[in-house]
Amino acid sequence: MRIILVGQGPFGEKVLDALITRGEDIVGVFCPKDKRGEAMAATAVASSLALFRPDKMKDAEVQEAYLELRPDLVILAFVTDIIPEALLDIPPIGTICYHPSLLPRHRGASGINWAVIQGDTRTGLTILWVDKGIDTGPILLQKEIEITPADTTGSLYFNSLFPLGIEAFVEAVDLIKSGEAPKISQDDALATYEPPCDDRVAAVDWSKPASDVYNLVRGCDPQPGAYSTLKGEKIKFYKASLIEATEETSPGQVISIGAGEVVVALKGGTLKIGKMKAEKGAKLAADEFAEEMDLKVGMRFGS
């Protein structure tokens, strides 16, 4: 089975490495020209694979390469570029893609973030058959994991969804080669679609319940970083935990500063913050940040 792999970053590189190790027939590797494609490119070169680093997947040279390579299957391993519909028609078996949610829930670019932000207790990954919609194609397989109260987007991805994704692609290829790969239609009535998780959605609303604020902070950790303002400057929060409030205090107010932590009042709880970052500064331990920014008990974020 002739396979084209399209991807980027550590995930794309590890998927490529796994398929090479298994002796799959990789006829072409496509990755970006910038540093996102460097690891994949190095692996492809080391294995003497045909390597392509186009500016965009919509470039005419990409379609020409697809036609020349004659892939049976195309695998998308972390692709942020748009794949033109014309490319989807070339491989006779089809194109499969990794998505880090249990589709049809959390379609879109930030499936892990939104699962945490919305307080889900389960999430997972989907390997789907790509169609012209956004994460709408039939499901080939899914893997489910628990979201614990301490999980962040980062911990879910690096500890679970990254390694599971590599295993899932290997399993998917085996199913396709055996002729047993399913195509399970998604139930659009159960679908959710959220926008990219960026600064437009990462601002803390201190009037919301403690659990909502906490879920936003951990859902935006490590990217884009949930934030509030202090002295007119945007401040981002990381490594947070939710603890019970001993007394009612104005939400957003700093109630204590200790070794490696700043504790901020919430509506129905308190937020213990382990790391903080000013807009133009480095990420620091919260107490170091407090000293550098002259943050004092009684000061209030967002005021």
CA dist 213 → 100, 119, 197, 201 (Å): 23, 11, 15, 12
Band of pLDDT at residue 1, cut at 50, 70 and 90: very high
Task: Examine the pLDDT at 84 and tell me if it is beyond 80.
Answer: yes
Task: Examine the pLDDT at 122 and tell me if it is beyond 80.
Answer: yes
| Pairwise CA distance, residues 230 & 249, whole Å | 18
Task: Examine the pLDDT at 303 and tell me if it is beyond 80.
Answer: no
The burial of 258, by beta-carbon neighbours within 10 Å (0-12 exposed, 13-18 middle, 19 or more buried), is given as exposed
Task: Examine the pLDDT at 82 and tell me if it is beyond 80.
Answer: yes
State mean pLDDT over 50-65: 97
Percent of the chain with pLDDT over 70: 100
The three-class DSSP label of residue 18 is: helix
**In this structure, what are the phi and psi dihedrals at residue 228, rounded to the nearest 5 degrees?**
-140, -175
For every residue of 73-139, DSSP letters joined together read: EEEEES--S---HHHHTSSSSEEEEEESS-TTTTBSTTHHHHHHHTT-SEEEEEEEE--SSSS-SPE
- Per-residue model confidence (pLDDT) at position 156: 98
pLDDT digits (tens, 9 = 90+) for 236-295: 999 999 998 777 789 999 999 999 999 999 999 999 999 999 988 999 999 999 999 999
pLDDT digits (tens, 9 = 90+) for 16-30: 999 999 999 999 999
pLDDT digits (tens, 9 = 90+) for 166-175: 999 999 999 9
The three-class DSSP label of residue 210 is: helix
- Per-residue model confidence (pLDDT) at position 245: 78
Q: Which domains are delineated in the chain? A: 2-190 (3.40.50.170), 210-293 (3.10.25.10)
In sequence order, what are the residues at sequence separation of 6 or more whose Cβ sits closer than 8 angstroms to the Cβ of residue 91?
Answer: 4, 66, 71, 72, 73, 74
- Per-residue model confidence (pLDDT) at position 248: 79
